[in-house]
A and B are shown apart, each in its own frame.
Chain A
Amino acid sequence: MTDIKVTPLGAGQDVGRSCILLSIGGKNVMLDCGMHMGYNDDRRFPDFTYVAREGRLTDRINCLIISHFHLDHCGALPYMTEMVGYDGPIYMTHPTKAICPILLEDYRKINVERKGDTNFFTSEMIKACMKKVVTVNLHQVIQVDEELEIKAYYAGHVLGAAMFQIRVGQNSVVYTGDYNMTPDRHLGAAWVDKCRPDLLITESTYATTIRDSKRCRERDFLRKVHDCVEKGGKPFDRAYIENPGPMVVFATPGMLHAGLSLQIFKRWAPSEANMVIMPGYCVAGTVGHRILNGARKIELENKQTGIMQLISHCQPRNVLLVHGEAEKMAFLKNKIQEEFGIDCFMPANGETSVIKTRHNIPLDTALNLLKRQLLPAEAENSAQGALLMKGSHMQLTEPAAAFRELGVEEHELRFTCNIQLEEEGRVADTSERIYRVLQR
Chain B
Amino acid sequence: MKLVCLSDNPSKPCFILFFKGVRIMLDCGLDIKQLLHFVPLLVVPGFQVSKARSWAQGGDRRTRVPDDITQELKDCGGRLLVDGAPEFAIPETDMVELSSLDAILISSYSCMLALPYITEYTGFRGTVYLTEPTLHIGRQYMEELVKYVERNPKSAVASKWKQENIIKSLPAPLRDAINPRQWRKLYTLHDINSALSKVQLVGFSQKVDIFGSLTVTPASSGCCIGSCNWIIQSTFEKICYVAGTSTLTTHPRPMEQAPLKNADILVLSCLTQTPSSLPDPMIGEFCINAAVTVKNGGNVLVPCYASGVTFDLFECLSGHLEQCGLAGVPMYFLSPVSDSTLAYSNIFAEWLSSSKQSKVFLPECPFPHADLLAKGRLKNFSSIHSGLTTDFHTPCVLFAGHPSLRMGDIVHFIELWGGSAANTIIFTEPDFPHLDALAPFLPLAMRVCYCPIDTSLNFSQANKLIRDLRPLHLVVSETYMKPPVLEPLRNDLTIEFEPSPLTYKQGEVLSLPVKRQFETVEMESELASTLEPVEVKPGAAVSMVTASLVSRDNKYILKRLPRSVQSLKKRRSDGTVLWRKPYIFGSPSLQAIVEGLKQQGFTSLKVEENESGSIIHLMKEDSLIQVDGSSTHIICDSEDVRLRLRDVMLKCLKQL
* A contact residues, range: 35 or more
A339 within 8 A of B: no
In the bound complex, do residue A365 and residue B519 qualify as a contact, i.e. CB atoms below 8 Å apart?
A: yes
A415→B636 CA distance, assembly (Å): 7
A138→B201 CA distance, assembly (Å): 11
A410→B206 CA distance, assembly (Å): 47
Partner of A411, one of B206, B523, B632: B632
* B contact residues, range: 35 or more
Given A140-B206, A381-B548, check contact A98 B361 (CB 8 Å).
Answer: yes
In the bound complex, do residue A363 and residue B635 qualify as a contact, i.e. CB atoms below 8 Å apart?
A: no
A288→B207 CA distance, assembly (Å): 44
Q: Which residue of A lies closest to B515 (CB)?
A: A367
A142→B205 CA distance, assembly (Å): 7
CB-defined contacts of A391 to chain B, threshold 8 Å: 539
Q: Which residue of B lies closest to A393 (CB)?
A: B540
Contact with A along B521-546 (1 / 0, CB 8 A): 11111001001010011011111111
A403 shortest CB reach to chain B, Å: 7
CB-defined contacts of A219 to chain B, threshold 8 Å: none
Per the 8 Å Cβ criterion, residues 185-234 of B in contact with A are: 202-207, 217
In the bound complex, do residue A406 and residue B536 qualify as a contact, i.e. CB atoms below 8 Å apart?
A: yes
Given A361-B523, A370-B519, check contact A139 B583 (CB 8 Å).
Answer: no
B566 shortest CB reach to chain A, Å: 9
A410→B633 CA distance, assembly (Å): 14
A286 within 8 A of B: no
A129→B580 CA distance, assembly (Å): 67
Per the 8 Å Cβ criterion, residues 8-64 of A in contact with B are: none
A364→B646 CA distance, assembly (Å): 35
Q: Which residue of B lies closest to A361 (CB)?
A: B523
CB-defined contacts of A364 to chain B, threshold 8 Å: 235-236, 518-520
Partner of A382, one of B202, B557, B570, B631: B570
Contact with B along A399-440 (1 / 0, CB 8 A): 100110011111111111111000000000000000000000
CB-defined contacts of A365 to chain B, threshold 8 Å: 518-521, 556
Of A115-123, A178-186, A314-322, A372-380, the one with at least 4 CB within 8 A of chain B: A372-380
A135→B542 CA distance, assembly (Å): 47
B630 within 8 A of A: yes
Partner of B540, one of A360, A390, A411: A390
A79→B413 CA distance, assembly (Å): 62
In the bound complex, do residue A389 and residue B528 qualify as a contact, i.e. CB atoms below 8 Å apart?
A: no
CB-defined contacts of A214 to chain B, threshold 8 Å: none
In the bound complex, do residue A413 and residue B634 qualify as a contact, i.e. CB atoms below 8 Å apart?
A: yes
A97→B350 CA distance, assembly (Å): 12
In the bound complex, do residue A140 and residue B630 qualify as a contact, i.e. CB atoms below 8 Å apart?
A: no
A142→B259 CA distance, assembly (Å): 12
A374 shortest CB reach to chain B, Å: 6
A317 shortest CB reach to chain B, Å: 13
B234 shortest CB reach to chain A, Å: 11
B393 shortest CB reach to chain A, Å: 38
Contact with B along A349-372 (1 / 0, CB 8 A): 000000000111111111100100
In the bound complex, do residue A414 and residue B631 qualify as a contact, i.e. CB atoms below 8 Å apart?
A: yes
B146 within 8 A of A: no
Given A367-B516, A382-B547, check contact A389 B542 (CB 8 Å).
Answer: yes
In the bound complex, do residue A383 and residue B558 qualify as a contact, i.e. CB atoms below 8 Å apart?
A: yes
A269→B235 CA distance, assembly (Å): 66
CB-defined contacts of A359 to chain B, threshold 8 Å: 525
A164 shortest CB reach to chain B, Å: 14
A400 shortest CB reach to chain B, Å: 9
Given A97-B361, A135-B350, A416-B635, check contact A411 B539 (CB 8 Å).
Answer: no
Per the 8 Å Cβ criterion, residues 370-421 of B in contact with A are: none
A388 within 8 A of B: yes
CB-defined contacts of B633 to chain A, threshold 8 Å: 414-416
Per the 8 Å Cβ criterion, residues 328-386 of B in contact with A are: 349-350, 360-361, 363
CB-defined contacts of B531 to chain A, threshold 8 Å: 387
CB-defined contacts of B634 to chain A, threshold 8 Å: 413-416
Contact with B along A127-140 (1 / 0, CB 8 A): 00000000101111
Of B83-91, B435-443, B584-592, the one with at least 4 CB within 8 A of chain A: B584-592
Partner of A381, one of B205, B543, B549, B636: B549
In the bound complex, do residue B521 and residue A399 qualify as a contact, i.e. CB atoms below 8 Å apart?
A: no
Q: Which residue of B lies closest to A395 (CB)?
A: B518
In the bound complex, do residue B549 and residue A382 qualify as a contact, i.e. CB atoms below 8 Å apart?
A: yes
A298 within 8 A of B: no
B250 shortest CB reach to chain A, Å: 20
A1 within 8 A of B: yes
* Count of A-B contacts judged by CB separation below 8 Å: 186
Given A139-B206, A387-B542, check contact A360 B631 (CB 8 Å).
Answer: no
A42→B166 CA distance, assembly (Å): 90
In the bound complex, do residue A411 and residue B350 qualify as a contact, i.e. CB atoms below 8 Å apart?
A: no
Partner of B548, one of A362, A383, A388, A417: A383
Partner of A389, one of B533, B548, B583: B533
A386 within 8 A of B: yes
B610 within 8 A of A: no
In the bound complex, do residue B350 and residue A399 qualify as a contact, i.e. CB atoms below 8 Å apart?
A: no
B517 within 8 A of A: yes
In the bound complex, do residue B583 and residue A362 qualify as a contact, i.e. CB atoms below 8 Å apart?
A: no
In the bound complex, do residue B203 and residue A384 qualify as a contact, i.e. CB atoms below 8 Å apart?
A: no
In the bound complex, do residue B585 and residue A408 qualify as a contact, i.e. CB atoms below 8 Å apart?
A: yes
In the bound complex, do residue B545 and residue A396 qualify as a contact, i.e. CB atoms below 8 Å apart?
A: yes
A404 shortest CB reach to chain B, Å: 12
CB-defined contacts of B60 to chain A, threshold 8 Å: none
CB-defined contacts of B528 to chain A, threshold 8 Å: 361
A386→B534 CA distance, assembly (Å): 11
In the bound complex, do residue A384 and residue B544 qualify as a contact, i.e. CB atoms below 8 Å apart?
A: yes
A385 within 8 A of B: yes
B202 shortest CB reach to chain A, Å: 7
A391→B544 CA distance, assembly (Å): 17
Partner of A137, one of B204, B573, B656: B204
B637 within 8 A of A: yes
CB-defined contacts of B546 to chain A, threshold 8 Å: 382-384
In the bound complex, do residue A385 and residue B545 qualify as a contact, i.e. CB atoms below 8 Å apart?
A: yes
In the bound complex, do residue A374 and residue B551 qualify as a contact, i.e. CB atoms below 8 Å apart?
A: yes
In the bound complex, do residue B636 and residue A417 qualify as a contact, i.e. CB atoms below 8 Å apart?
A: yes
CB-defined contacts of B556 to chain A, threshold 8 Å: 365, 370
Contact with A along B477-489 (1 / 0, CB 8 A): 0000000000000
CB-defined contacts of A409 to chain B, threshold 8 Å: 585, 629-630
A97→B363 CA distance, assembly (Å): 12
Per the 8 Å Cβ criterion, residues 473-527 of B in contact with A are: 516-525
B356 shortest CB reach to chain A, Å: 13
In the bound complex, do residue B637 and residue A417 qualify as a contact, i.e. CB atoms below 8 Å apart?
A: yes
Partner of A399, one of B537, B583, B632: B583
A112 within 8 A of B: no
Per the 8 Å Cβ criterion, residues 574-612 of B in contact with A are: 580, 583-587
In the bound complex, do residue B525 and residue A403 qualify as a contact, i.e. CB atoms below 8 Å apart?
A: no
CB-defined contacts of B125 to chain A, threshold 8 Å: none
Partner of B630, one of A138, A373, A380, A412: A412
In the bound complex, do residue B542 and residue A141 qualify as a contact, i.e. CB atoms below 8 Å apart?
A: no
In the bound complex, do residue B542 and residue A361 qualify as a contact, i.e. CB atoms below 8 Å apart?
A: no
CB-defined contacts of A406 to chain B, threshold 8 Å: 536-537, 540, 542
A414→B625 CA distance, assembly (Å): 10
In the bound complex, do residue A383 and residue B549 qualify as a contact, i.e. CB atoms below 8 Å apart?
A: yes
* Most central of A97, A137, A360, A406 by chain B CB within 10 Å: A360
A135→B203 CA distance, assembly (Å): 13
In the bound complex, do residue B544 and residue A363 qualify as a contact, i.e. CB atoms below 8 Å apart?
A: no
A389→B544 CA distance, assembly (Å): 11
A-B interface, 6 closest residue pairs, ranked by CB to CB distance from nearest: A360-B522, A412-B631, A383-B549, A365-B521, A139-B206, A416-B635
Offer 26 A-B interface pairs, CB within 8 angstroms, sorted by A: A1-B525, A94-B350, A98-B361, A141-B217, A359-B525, A360-B524, A360-B557, A361-B523, A361-B524, A361-B525, A363-B520, A364-B519, A366-B518, A382-B548, A385-B545, A387-B544, A388-B541, A399-B656, A406-B537, A411-B586, A411-B653, A415-B633, A415-B636, A415-B642, A416-B633, A419-B637
Add 6 more A-B contacts to A360-B524, A414-B631, A415-B636 (CB < 8 A).
A386-B656, A387-B545, A399-B583, A410-B585, A414-B634, A415-B635
